[in-house]
Amino acid sequence: MTTVSTQFVELTADEFRTRLREALAIYVEAMRYPPGTAEQRAPMWLTHALRDGWRCYAALDGDGTMLGVAYGYRGSPGQWWHEQVRRGLVKNSGEQAATHWLDDYFELTEIHVRPRSQAGGIGENLLRRLLDGVPNQHVLLSTPEGTSRAWKLYRRVGFVDVLRDYHFAGDPRPFAILGRTLPLERAAE
């Protein structure tokens, strides 16, 4: 369960820019990336905040310290991730599958919770808040292959395999592309 003192807030693009360093620190810690990764990712994250349909939620503790962050936007042709996934889908499943998934989707770009704050419902709460009211037909995300808390969360809320063991250009790790139709069902009370 989420602790009583955890607050979930929607961040504007300006608030996101102000808290970017803190959000990237969570990303690096949660993904176990090497130091320096945050500086490489910062320009990309700032560019994402300018995209159509961008929205962001953060989980804050009682002191206002960020415990988790999630953001995404409307995916569209010409975006790097869209083109990479389209290529993989056409190759593995055909044009019809690519059109089905990529015609009208929200890209859940990032969702991360500090490791010490994981397993308390923060990730699911962020995911549900981020996707609540999203007007797109589908939501898509990519996640490294392998069992993790994130995988369990995605399966629990109904994400299915769209493309497995996919290798993005420039990354040797295999990824899964997961998706589901929107809206999400309401969480059980």
Q: pLDDT for 87-123, tens place per residue?
A: 999 999 999 999 999 999 999 999 999 999 998 999 9
d(CA 35, CA 182): 36
Phi, psi for residue 170 in degrees, rounded to 5? 85, 5
User: Over 70: is that where the pLDDT of 1 sits?
Assistant: no
**Catalytic one among 27, 73, 154, 166?**
154
73: which strand partners?
107
Where do the structural domains in the chain lie, given as residue ranges? 7-181
DSSP state of 158: T
Q: What integer best gives the mean pLDDT of the chain? A: 94
d(CA 29, CA 116): 10
Give the three-state DSSP class for 161: strand
Asked if 118 and 6 count as a contact pair (C-beta separation under 8 A), the reply is no
Q: What is the pLDDT of residues 48-91, one digit of tens each?
A: 999 999 999 999 999 999 999 999 999 999 999 999 999 999 99
d(CA 139, CA 182): 7
Task: Find the angle CA(98)-CA(101)-CA(103) to the nearest 5 degrees.
Answer: 85
User: Over 80: is that where the pLDDT of 189 sits?
Assistant: no
d(CA 50, CA 13): 8
Give the three-state DSSP class for 171: coil
Is residue 154 flagged as an active site residue? yes
Q: What is the CATH number of domain 7-181?
A: 3.40.630.30
